[in-house]
Amino acid sequence: MKSVFALILFIVAGETALHAQSEYLKWKPLVINQTQRIWYDASSIDTVDGDKFKVWILQMYQPPLSFDGIADKIYRSRTQYGIDLNTEKYGILKVIYYGVTNNVLYNFDYHIDNYPDNLKYTYPLMENSYMKILIQKLGRIQDKGIN
């Protein structure tokens, strides 16, 4: 019974979080299945006009995550990524971790805007990853002429 209640609370809190955060961002589902719940900020890719851009990704975790140094359980994270389509690599720019009531537990800004590209975009876009799915979705959006 506790697990059913926790799941219901998780879903309600997640929907509340999406609504609260969508005031400035336009969240669209990227991967929604039994193991992953991931959204992307469509407004950040609606204006992509070059090979490098930034995008916010929102993830929900069930069961919640726990990290050393963060006292509470992490139910959501919002991460800003920088993506370079030429090299097919990305990097993490900012991350924010949220608790069950959408309270910010921890946030970090890597301040890498002025770094050279080889340090800014360090992770490859792996096949079947949510970042690769995002790039494929971006390609379909651009193919349709939607900016």
Tokens of 22: 């969508």
- Per-residue pLDDT tens, the chain, 147 aa: give them: 555 444 444 444 445 544 444 457 899 999 999 889 999 999 888 777 789 999 999 999 999 999 999 999 999 999 999 999 999 999 999 999 999 999 999 999 999 989 999 999 999 999 989 999 999 888 765 554 433
C-alpha distances in Å from residue 42, one per residue of 57, 64, 132: 10, 25, 15
d(CA 14, CA 17): 5
pTM: 0.78
Which one, of 55, 59, 17, lies nearest residue 37 by Cα? 59
Which one, of 143, 134, 145, 144, lies nearest residue 45 by Cα? 134
Domains and CATH numbers, the chain: 2-143 (2.40.128)
